[in-house]
Structure 1
Amino acid sequence: MLEPMPVSHSPRGGVVIRGGAFSWGHMKTECMLILIWVMFDSALTVKIILGMLLTLFYFFLL
């Protein structure tokens, strides 16, 4: 019988499932990167890559 994975709360506000690499903060960052990519262009240009880097810095510094 399958047992549920233990869940704990990370200090940064995300939910961490032990035994896996999932957190809501990480998913929020991934969604923002995809949103920026879709909004501006379907090709990865320098402008898009810089926008993604700025988004990463925003989420990791706040």
Structure 2
Amino acid sequence: MLRWVLIFLVVAIIAGILGFSGIAGAAAEIAKIIFFIFIILLAISLIGSFLRRNRR
């Protein structure tokens, strides 16, 4: 998932440099959304592994 964030970030940077502001903005928004989903899933995974470790 983090790989997709980096791909969309690179697309947004290249599009911004070339002057395609609409594409750059859309790619940046997609990268931002995927990044936040990644952070939420990471937090859930860490909390789940912490709770599972304490049960044993």
TM-score when normalising by structure 2: 0.41
Where relative contact order (Cα < 8 A, 6+ residues apart) is larger, the structure is: 2
Larger radius of gyration: 2
More strand by share: 1
